[in-house]
Amino acid sequence: MTGQSIAYDPCAERDTRGVDWPWPVGLHRAHRTCIKRVSHVRTPIEVSPDREAEFRALTKQWKRETAIAGSLSKIVMHPAYQRIMAMGPDAIPLILRDLSKEQGHWFWALRNLVPPGHDPAEGTTTIRDATHAWLEWGKSRHIL
Amino acid sequence: MGEIPDNYEDLSDIEKIEDVHFPALKGGKGYDRVSPATIEYNCLSWALGINWTRFDPEPQCAGYYWLPDVEREWSLKAITKTLETLGYGICDNPDLEDGFEKVVIYIDETDTPRHFARQLPNGRWTSKLGDLNDIEHDTLDCLVIPDYGKPQLVLKRKREQNEGA
């Protein structure tokens, strides 16, 4: 595959039991089919230009169609957001790049794209702190 | 919500508010913008006078806040409990009442709370419009759109003595 190579391997942090993580607290059962787990990835992630274009289009649609929504549940249930989550670990560097440019409601997706217990923003209660935690995490892994 | 134009990202905040989302505000009628757009607080936290975090119960996630003793769901019951925990009680009208601060909950057709407005001492209302700006507006009806529903439940609490208009 040609494309930009991203030096991040989720396997490096993954629980080796792999496939079936506990379902994230707060996510409705109906969401299950929308999310692809990252349990089988064994090589550094490469993000193809097509994948990046898809991400950009979905992000644009999601942000504009949730611009006046007040609740996180409505924001992350948007079909475009669910499709981004379904991209799996490919989405991580793309999300972090977007987050480094402007604030966004990405923490739910990111939390579910890394192994359980590895959310670097865990415990934060503000957008600013969560953003900082994820961007530092990305820099420390050379994703950003 | 009106049709979202292809060039939405290029629109100014005013154009997004007036031309796309809230047609009743077209031409700057009956409202003023009072802050830049931000996602750091939402309409619920803003109605509670808080701008340092978002009150958001679900999904439980880093970056968002919810009162520890209130059920984690975006429901009328849980949100009413939140307001009651913070000193509000249900009242029967949104009329200006000396010494009291009122919050109105907009509820959609599924009985889900979708928006909140807080009354200012001068009788105007203040609202945070999703991830866009917060505004001061003359009436509650100017924000009635399908996405927000209608203003249907009013709560009040004693106003802080030193709070100005």
> Which pair of tokens denotes residue B4?
């979202």
Interatomic CA distance for residues B102 and B93, integer angstroms: 9
The verdict on a CB contact (< 8 Å) between A73 and B1 is no
Residues A21 and A68: beta-carbon distance below 8 Å: no
Whether residue B19 lies inside any domain: the answer is no
Interatomic CA distance for residues B109 and B122, integer angstroms: 31
Whether residue A7 lies inside any domain: the answer is no
> Which pair of tokens denotes residue B164?
């100005």
Whether residue B14 lies inside any domain: the answer is no
Domain limits at A122?
A: 50-144
Show which residues on chain B lie within 8 Å of chain A, measured between beta carbons. Answer: 1, 4, 8-9, 16, 21, 38-40, 42-44, 52-54, 56, 58-65, 72, 74, 114-116, 128-132, 147-148
Pick the more confident residue, A10 or B156. B156
Residues B102 and B156: beta-carbon distance below 8 Å: yes
Residues B75 and B115: beta-carbon distance below 8 Å: no
Helix (H) or strand (E) holding B155: strand B150-158
Enumerate residue ranges in chain B where pLDDT < 70: 1-2, 161-165
Interatomic CA distance for residues A116 and A64, integer angstroms: 30
Q: In this predicted structure, which of A19-28, A69-78, B143-152 has the lowest mean pLDDT?
A: A19-28
**What backbone torsions phi and psi does residue B18 show, to the nearest 5 degrees?**
-85, -40
Domain limits at B127?
A: 32-158
Chain A residue closest in CA terms to B7: A64
The verdict on a CB contact (< 8 Å) between B9 and A26 is no
Radius of gyration of chain A (CA): 14
- The two beta strands, A46-47 and B150-158, are unpaired
Banded model confidence at residue A47, pLDDT cuts 50, 70, 90 = confident
Q: What is the dihedral of CA A25, A31, A32, A34, to 10 degrees?
A: -130
Chain B residue closest in CA terms to A28: B59
Whether residue A32 lies inside any domain: the answer is no
Report yes or no: A60 at the B interface, CB cutoff 8 Å. Answer: yes
- Shortest distance between the Cα of A126 and any Cα of chain B, in A, equals 4
The total of structural domains in chain A comes to: 1
At residue B160, the pLDDT reads 80
Whether residue A2 lies inside any domain: the answer is no
ipTM of the modeled complex: 0.93
- What are the C-alpha distances in Å from A52 to residues A58, A60, A78? 10, 12, 19
The total of structural domains in chain B comes to: 1
What is the number of H-type helices and E-type strands within chain A? Answer: 6, 2
DSSP 8-state class, residue B9: G
DSSP 8-state class, residue A143: -
pLDDT digits (tens, 9 = 90+) for B17-44: 999 999 999 999 899 988 999 999 999 9
